[in-house]
């Protein structure tokens, strides 16, 4: 049951989500819709809040945006199949895994070099290397990211992903190669951020490239939950260690005995909703859901995530962006180039598509 004080806030999120969904359908490239509804929802939410249009009494419901977000994450597990990973072959998996790992750590350390907050660095890293806004949506509640950090990360990923869908097909069309369709498909599937952008770029290039890009991206998407789980444990351990160190320094400065390091509460740190996600993936992979059921679960999950994204926008203030500055955009741009370069190096190194 939804608490009564949440109703008005959830109604606002619902209106923003519906408007964003239909607005995203108006932009078509390669037969697909590259501008994601979550990006539009965040922008609309930010505008509503900062121009004083949020109704009175809606604050409590808007702040509870993680409820639909978490349930949405669980339900989209029905859209993934373990068998898709094995079907792609060892070489394709190598391109995906190496590109993700290289991109993730390069972007993370680049963000730290630019002085960005750790949480924003993590969100930019995981959003660029795995699945754009969806990966950020999954990871954000695990590391207690601020709404403005989540908004900025999704906005950055959305911007450079949109640039990629326009430029990458045009650049690759300049080259003549017998296997260029497969080469571009693998490249788009590993180097472009979100699923709609990947599919759009692939089909802009060719039908073969579109089909290849889609298959590669779906495999890449399966890494969202495992990486999110690792990040949750790593972040909890890091926070606990820093807290223990701070307590020790405080005790030493007061001439007191240093406190023993605090133990990480792994039970609390474990993202239990990801357990539900994996259960849904397993049930789908082993044939417990019909095709109609899979479609309903996936669409419902995506819409609940969209509600959560609307809530993130509605909780974000313009002043937060002034504090963060332009650095995340620069990091996002350089990060996108690093991921693209790594993907190409792996494709040519393993001679994918005869490269």
pLDDT in tens, 253-280: 555 554 444 444 445 445 566 678 778 8
- The count of domains in the chain is 1
Structural element, H or E, at residue 125 = helix 118-126
CA distances from 36 to 27, 55, 220, 251, 266 (A): 10, 26, 18, 50, 35
Where the chain has pLDDT below 70, the residues are 1-2, 29-34, 84-88, 239-274, 320-321, 323-324, 354-355
In a domain, 163, yes or no: yes
In a domain, 54, yes or no: yes
Name the burial class of residue 113, with classes exposed (0-12), middle (13-18) and buried (19+) by CB atoms within 10 angstroms of its CB. exposed
Residues near 1 by Cβ (< 8 Å), separated by ≥ 6? none
**pLDDT of res. 337:** 94
CA distances from 231 to 57, 97, 125, 269, 333 (A): 35, 16, 11, 10, 23
In a domain, 43, yes or no: yes
In a domain, 252, yes or no: no
Name the burial class of residue 174, with classes exposed (0-12), middle (13-18) and buried (19+) by CB atoms within 10 angstroms of its CB. exposed
**pLDDT of res. 188:** 93
pLDDT tens string 110-151: 999 999 988 899 999 988 888 777 788 878 888 888 888 888
Residue (of 166, 193, 176) closest to 30 by Cα position: 166
Residue 310 belongs to domain spanning = 4-244+261-354
Q: In the 8-state DSSP scheme, what is residue 158? A: H
220 vs 193: CA distance, rounded Å: 10
Cα-flanking dihedrals φ and ψ of residue 113, to 5°? -65, -35
Number of residues assigned to the chain? 355
In a domain, 253, yes or no: no
In a domain, 249, yes or no: no
**pLDDT of res. 261:** 44
In a domain, 251, yes or no: no
In a domain, 250, yes or no: no
């Amino acid at each position: 049951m939804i608490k009564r004080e949440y109703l008005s806030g959830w109604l606002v999120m619902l209106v923003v989500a519906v408007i964003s969904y239909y607005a995203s359908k108006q932009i078509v490239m390669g037969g697909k819709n590259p501008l994601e509804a979550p990006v539009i929802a965040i922008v609309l939410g930010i505008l509503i809040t900062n121009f004083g249009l949020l109704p009175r009494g809606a604050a409590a419901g808007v702040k509870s945006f993680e409820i639909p977000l978490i349930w949405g994450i669980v339900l989209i597990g029905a859209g993934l199949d373990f068998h898709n990973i094995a079907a792609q072959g060892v070489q394709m998996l190598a391109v995906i895994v190496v590109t993700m790992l290289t991109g993730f750590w390069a972007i993370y350390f680049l963000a730290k070099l630019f002085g960005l907050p750790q949480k924003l660095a993590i969100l930019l890293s995981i959003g660029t290397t795995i699945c754009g806004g969806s990966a950020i949506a999954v990871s954000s509640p695990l590391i207690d990211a601020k709404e403005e950090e989540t908004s900025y990360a999704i906005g950055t990923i959305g911007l450079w992903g949109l640039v990629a869908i326009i430029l990458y097909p045009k650049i690759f069309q300049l080259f003549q190669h017998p296997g260029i369709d497969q080469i571009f498909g693998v490249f788009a599937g590993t180097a472009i951020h979100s699923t709609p952008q990947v599919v759009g770029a692939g089909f802009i290039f060719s039908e073969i490239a579109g089909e290849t890009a889609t298959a590669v991206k779906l495999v890449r998407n399966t890494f969202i939950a495992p990486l999110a789980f690792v990040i949750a444990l790593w972040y909890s351990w890091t926070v606990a260690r820093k807290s223990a160190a701070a307590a020790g320094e405080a005790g030493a400065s007061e001439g007191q005995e240093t406190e023993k390091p605090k133990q990480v509460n792994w039970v609390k740190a474990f993202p239990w909703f990801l357990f539900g996600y994996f259960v849904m993936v397993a049930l789908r992979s082993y044939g417990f859901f019909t095709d109609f059921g899979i479609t309903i679960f996936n669409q419902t999950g995506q819409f609940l995530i969209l509600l959560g994204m609307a809530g993130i926008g509605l909780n974000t203030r313009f002043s937060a962006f002034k504090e963060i500055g332009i650095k995340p955009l620069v990091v996002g741009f350089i990060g996108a180039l690093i991921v693209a370069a790594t993907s190409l190096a792996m494709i040519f190194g393993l001679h994918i598509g005869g490269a």
